[in-house]
């Protein structure tokens, strides 16, 4: 699916320390970037992206952490496909994300990837030279865009 989608209209890539502070920063950056792209704070898209980034970043700095190595956040905006792709890469390739089955592990943990699944059109894991990338693609709704973004994404014929 991902290979076929169009060239991103915009992109953010940021390396961050694999710490709780780095994970919090990832969420904050995502909220700021979505707002700058025309998906304002308080809107469904901005909220959903912040939730997904927070969960993937938390996983990267706990389960995917290799001491001394950063993790990376990438956001890719595909306007013709009405899709926002989130990529969180960490340095560890000996453990993979494994969502808890429904009903399993209701007490401690196992909630993060279920939340990612609920917000996403699709999500998955891709290998890389060092470590892995956990990605999620979220639908964008015009109703969540500012007037400025709607004007950019839906050009009228001259």
Ligand X SMILES: Nc1ncnc2c1ncn2[C@@H]1O[C@H](COP(=O)(O)OP(=O)(O)OP(=O)(O)O)[C@@H](O)[C@H]1O
Residue ranges in contact with Mg ion by CB under 5 A: 59, 112
Interacting residues toward ligand X by CB under 6 A: 55, 59-60, 63-64, 90, 92, 95-100, 109-113, 134
Joined together, the tokens standing for residue 46 give 């901005």
CB of 99 to Mg ion, least distance (A): 9
The residue (of 50 and 83) whose beta carbon lies closer to Mg ion is 50
Nearer to ligand X, 109 or 155 (CB): 109
Minimum CB–partner distance for residue 73 and ligand X (Å): 13
Q: For residues 132 and 145, what is the distance between their CA atoms, to the nearest angstrom?
A: 31
Chain-centre distance for alpha carbon 106: 24
C-beta of 74: minimal distance to ligand X in Å? 15
Whole-Å CA distances, 4 to 1, 7, 136, 148, 150: 6, 9, 15, 27, 24
Running DSSP on this structure, what letter comes out for residue 137? E
* CB 75 within 8 Å of CB 86: yes
Could you tell me the smallest distance in angstroms from the CB atom of residue 55 to Mg ion?
Answer: 6
Residue 81 or 87 having the CB closest to ligand X: 87
């Amino acid at each position: 699916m991902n290979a076929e989608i169009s060239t991103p209209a915009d992109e953010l890539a940021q390396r961050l320390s694999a710490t709780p502070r780095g994970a919090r920063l990832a969420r904050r950056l995502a909220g700021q970037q979505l707002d700058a792209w025309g998906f304002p704070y308080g809107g469904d898209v901005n909220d959903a992206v912040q939730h997904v980034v927070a969960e993937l970043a938390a996983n990267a700095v706990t389960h995917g952490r290799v001491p001394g190595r950063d993790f990376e956040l990438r956001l890719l905006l595909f306007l013709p496909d009405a899709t926002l792709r989130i990529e969180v890469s960490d340095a560890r390739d000996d453990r993979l994300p494994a969502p808890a089955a429904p009903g399993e592990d209701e007490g401690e943990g196992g909630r993060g990837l279920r939340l990612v699944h609920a917000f996403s059109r699709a999500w998955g894991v891709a290998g890389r030279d060092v470590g892995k990338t956990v990605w999620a693609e979220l639908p964008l709704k015009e109703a969540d865009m500012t007037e400025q973004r709607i004007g950019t994404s839906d050009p009228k014929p001259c």
